[in-house]
Each structure stands twice: as structure tokens, then as C-alpha cells.
Structure 1
Amino acid sequence: MKKIFSILLVGIAIFTFAFSNSALAADSANGATIFNANCAACHAGGKNLVQANKTLKIDALKEYGMDSAEAIITQVTNGKNAMPAFKGRLNDAQIEDVAAYVLDQADKW
């Protein structure tokens, strides 16, 4: 009985780990939809209509320390300067998806 219980616990742990990792994976395609609905007014084509030098192109993201998902998530969540905070308007998964989309597009814009 003890052996079956141990095997069952290991199976549950593996399933939980696998499921949680896939659940946390950001969805760039969904991020594109969210970006177009919420961000494109100021950032169409990776540009920045408010501060022209702070684009979403990879060189600018690197220059301003915004070339990681964590940095973009923080910026979108909390806002900064002219950029509004999207916390409360977008949930965490949506913000993660937007970050994934921005990083996927950064070298294409």
C-alpha cells in the first residue's frame, strides 16, 4: 500500500509540474490581439508616438533595459511616465502574452 501511495504521489507531482509549466507559457498570438486592442494606439508597428526614441524595436529595448519579459511585464502592469498602468484592465496572463508578443516582434519592427 505504501509503495502504491508513493507512486501515486510521484505521478501527481509530475502531472502538476507539467501542467503548471504549460499554463504559465505566454501566448504570443493572444498577445498580438491584446496589443492591437490596447497598445497599438501609441505603439503601432513598434513605434512610440509619445517618446519617439523609446520604440519597441530590439535596439531600443536593450538600450533602456526593457529587453526581458520581466521588464516589459513590470512596465505594462505599473506604467511609467506617459505610459498608463494596465493593472486592473488586463489580467496577469494577458500582460504576459503582450510581453511575449513584444519580444517576438522586437527584431521585426
Structure 2
Amino acid sequence: MRTLLTAIFAVALLLISLTQPAFADGDIIAGAKVFNANCTSCHLGGGNVINAAKTLKKAALVANAKDTTEAIVAQVTNGKGAMPAFKSRLTEEQIASVAAYVLDKAEKGWQK
């Protein structure tokens, strides 16, 4: 019995390590298109032309508590400060895809 549980655990760990992180059902490719059409004027390359401390780089996302899908979705949906709300311009699916794209790019250091 112990061997069986160990084998099941090992298989589960293997499967988890082979999967890519899920970003709230967001589509990264679609998110890139939406981001490029709506966000690059302020956030080109993960930067922020309005407030240099609030970039989309991983360290800034963590420091500003915007490093989760939920936090990015809320920010894009409702806006805050100088950032406008996009809830009337983008669908929930588009916003989720943008969040997935931003998190993916932040993990990769905004490199191509």
C-alpha cells in the first residue's frame, strides 16, 4: 500500500511539473493582441510612462500587490489613479487574457 501511494504521489508531482502555470483561463496570445492595441501607449515593454514606480515588471507588481491574476483583472477592469477603467471597452475574457499576458511577460522579464 505504501509503495502504491508513493507511486501515485510521484506521478502527481511529475504531472504538476510538466504543466504550464494557469492564468485564470486567459489566453496569452489573445492577451498580447489586446495589450498591444490598448496598453502599450503607457506600458510599452512593461514600463509605465505615467508613474515609473508602477511598472509591469515582476518586482514592481509584487511591491504594488498586483502580482496575481485577480489583482491585474481588478486593476484593468476598474482602473485606479491615472489608469482608466477598461470594463466598458474590453470583455471579461479580454481582460483575463491581458492579465495572463502581463504575468507571463513579467515572469520572462518582458523579453521577447
Q: TM-score range by the shorter chain?
A: 0.7 to 0.9
Gaps of 5+ in 1: 1-23
Deviations 1:34-76 (A, max 9, x none): 0000000000000000001110000000000000000000000
Q: Considering fraction of residues, name the structure with more helix.
A: 1
Gaps of 5+ in 2: 1-23
The one-letter amino acid of 1:42's match is C
Aligned to 2:30: 30
Q: Describe how 1:17-96 pairs up with structure 2 within 5 A.
A: 25-96=25-96
Count how many residue pairs are aligned between Structure 1 and Structure 2: 86
- Distance (Å, rounded) in 1 between the aligned partners of 2:103 and 2:26: 11
How far apart are residue 26 of structure 1 and its match? 1.1
Q: Which has the larger radius of gyration?
A: 1
- Distance (Å, rounded) in 2 between the aligned partners of 1:84 and 1:101: 19
- Distance (Å, rounded) in 1 between the aligned partners of 2:89 and 2:79: 12
- Distance (Å, rounded) in 2 between the aligned partners of 1:88 and 1:103: 23
Deviations 1:78-98 (A, max 9, x none): 000000000010000000000
Q: What do you get for the CA RMSD once the two structures are aligned?
A: 0.9
- Distance (Å, rounded) in 1 between the aligned partners of 2:95 and 2:25: 12
Aligned to 1:100: 100
Q: List 4+ stretches of structure 1 deviating above 4 A.
A: none
- Distance (Å, rounded) in 2 between the aligned partners of 1:32 and 1:87: 18
TM-score (norm 1): 0.77
